[in-house]
Amino acid sequence: MAKNQLGVLNALDAARTQWYHFTAIVIAGMGFFTDAYDLFSISLITKLLGRIYYHVEGDPKPGILPPNVAAAVNGVAFCGTFAGQLFFGWLGDKLGRKRVYGLTLILMVVCSIASGISFRKSPNSVMATLCFFRFWLGFGIGGDYPLSATIMSEYANKKTRGAFISAVFAMQGFGILAGGIVALIVSAAFDHAYKAPPYKIDAAGSTVPEADYIWRIILMFGAVPALLTYYWRMKMPETARYTALVARNAKQAAADMSKVLQVELEVEEEKVEKIGTAPSNSFGLFSKEFARRHGLHLVGTTTTWFLLDIAYYSSNLFQKDIFSAIGWLPKPEIMSATHEVYRVAKAQTLIALCGTVPGYWFTVAFIDYIGRFTIQLMGFFFMTVFMFALAIPYHHWRSHHAGFLIMYSLTFFFANFGPNATTFVVPAEIFPARLRSTCHGISAAAGKAGAIVGAFGFLYASQSTDPSKTDKGYKPGIGVKNSLLVLGAINCLGMVCTLLVPESKGKSLEELTGENEDHGNEIQQSSTTPTVPV
């Protein structure tokens, strides 16, 4: 297959690991650092928002966000991300990866800052403004998924491509960790500077006026890492695969990659033209040929990502509620507002350190050795095991917090050393260059549809079956125990859908997609140019 390959693409596939690989990982990865920080930092501040804006005088418990407001605040960014993944995924194939890469970052910076300055007169107006900006923040984040994955896959060599793409995604773990650390620092500083009594001692005094700055600072900090990488994103050249296979500009592809690889690459205009007009490069997304070649693959990548994100985002966004339910967090009425933010951030930071971050980097280390399929199947299997292990003896964990922390951390470990990473990697490898960004965007959007189901569904489902124990404004649900059982069953279904996803380890992108299979003989007869060794 390599004999039929363009010299510039062969050079990329065979290139030894170089500085430009690490540069690309950092530039693309900082986008994911920001994405994760922005998406998951909201879970650190929702209890604080309830205390500040929905306090009821004389109520024995602190204020909480009403059900509809809580659902909107937690889920609106995912709605934006869903739309952004579809739109920017499509745009990345139409205009090129680089041309729209900076736009997503600008959206993220502007909306992160705007989220923190959501000032209005009434509580509902503040929440509406916050939700508006978080939708557009999510829209920008959505674009980062298909563009970053596609750019990294098209820059990488075939030997370590999985590690490079998953390293970009692994920055999400550091983003989640950074959110917890920033919240810890900010809440500790305010807790020290503005002493406040617990709610049950002084309801009004437990939330100092300055606490309103805490959530704003936490949200606005998300703009910092995005700003730091904007210049470097704009300096990245367009990927050779897009330039050669989609834009059909052989001269520009050779020129760009000659600079990146620091070797001379021959311009192969005739070969590029023949590849571009071959039948394997002419069918569209909604054609019978695409359905025949890649239909089941797309079903596999969308269903597995959808199922994974129901479980993953349910567990991640509502950690604080699960911790409260088992008694790991103190009851809110015996804490001040600032101290509650500190305790929630501390718990989530521990989970990130123990399970989330290590899981990502285990994937980076092993994905090109044991393969995407094996890691994904294994991850879904152990997520199922640990969800059931948490749910079945659920009442046991109420008095064994350390054991619960270990089991819960292992769930996140195998999510990230498993389908949370591989569902991101595989769609960037198995679809043709002219449809790669679009198909990754569709797969990722299916994931965010799952996240929306998780964000809205778990919020209501996890409420106690006892009407007297539900949060204010909520109807009885199925309880945390039964919710965890449902999530375990969803992970089990994810194992089944993984069977539709092909293994892509060790193969070139064109070998996986069949983009040069129809014209090999013609090219070999007409081309006398040897492959450039790198």
DSSP code per residue over 466-483: SGGGSPTTPPP-SHHHHH
pLDDT given at position 416? 92
Confidence at residue 272, expressed as pLDDT on a 0 to 100 scale: 78
pLDDT at 527: 38
Cβ-based neighbour number of residue 283 at 10 Å = 18
pLDDT of 329 above 80: no
Band (43; pLDDT cuts 50, 70, 90):
confident
Q: What gap in Å lies between CA 153 and CA 155, rounded to an integer? A: 6
pLDDT tens column, 75-95: 899 999 999 999 999 999 999
Is the pLDDT confidence value at 325 over 70?
no
CA gap 304, 306 in Å, rounded: 5
Mean pLDDT computed over 244-258: 87
Q: Would you state the pLDDT for residue 534?
A: 31
According to the model, what pLDDT value does residue 521 have?
45
Q: Which pLDDT does position 391 carry in this prediction?
A: 86
What is the reported pLDDT for 3? 55
Give the Cβ contact number of residue 466 at 10 Å: 9
Which tokens go with 53? 């804006």
d(CA 216, CA 419): 33
The rounded distance, in Å, linking the Cα atoms of 170 and 168 is 5
- Tell me what the mean pLDDT of segment 338-364 comes to: 89
Question: Considering the chain, what percentage of its residues have pLDDT values greater than 70?
Answer: 93
Tens of pLDDT along 355-407? 788 999 999 999 999 999 999 999 999 999 999 998 888 777 777 777 877 88
Domain 18-274+289-511 falls under CATH 1.20.1250.20: yes
Q: How far is CA 107 from CA 100, 143, 464, in A?
A: 11, 10, 39
- Confidence check: pLDDT of 63 > 50: yes
Confidence (pLDDT) at 4: 66
Give whole-number Cα distances, 126 to 114, 120, 340, in Å.
Answer: 12, 5, 21
Residue range 442-457: mean pLDDT, rounded: 91
User: Mean pLDDT over all residues of the chain?
Assistant: 87
Residues 140-168: tens digit of each pLDDT: 999 999 999 999 999 898 899 999 999 99
Q: Is pLDDT at 500 greater than 90 in this prediction?
A: yes
Q: Residues of 405-438 as b/e, b for ≥16 C-beta within 10 angstroms?
A: bebbbbbbbbbbbbbbbbbbbbbbbbbbbbbbbb
Residue 392 confidence (pLDDT):
87
Residue 525's pLDDT band, with cuts at 50, 70 and 90, is very low
Band the pLDDT of 321: cuts 50, 70, 90. Answer: low
Q: What confidence score (pLDDT) does residue 533 get?
A: 34
What is the DSSP code string of 15-67?
PPP-HHHHHHHHHHHHHHHHHHHHHHTHHHHHHHHHHHHS--TT-SS-----H
Q: Which residue has the higher pLDDT, 280 or 314?
A: 314
pLDDT for 267 equals 81
What is the per-residue pLDDT for 326?
65
Six-digit token string for 459: 């919020």
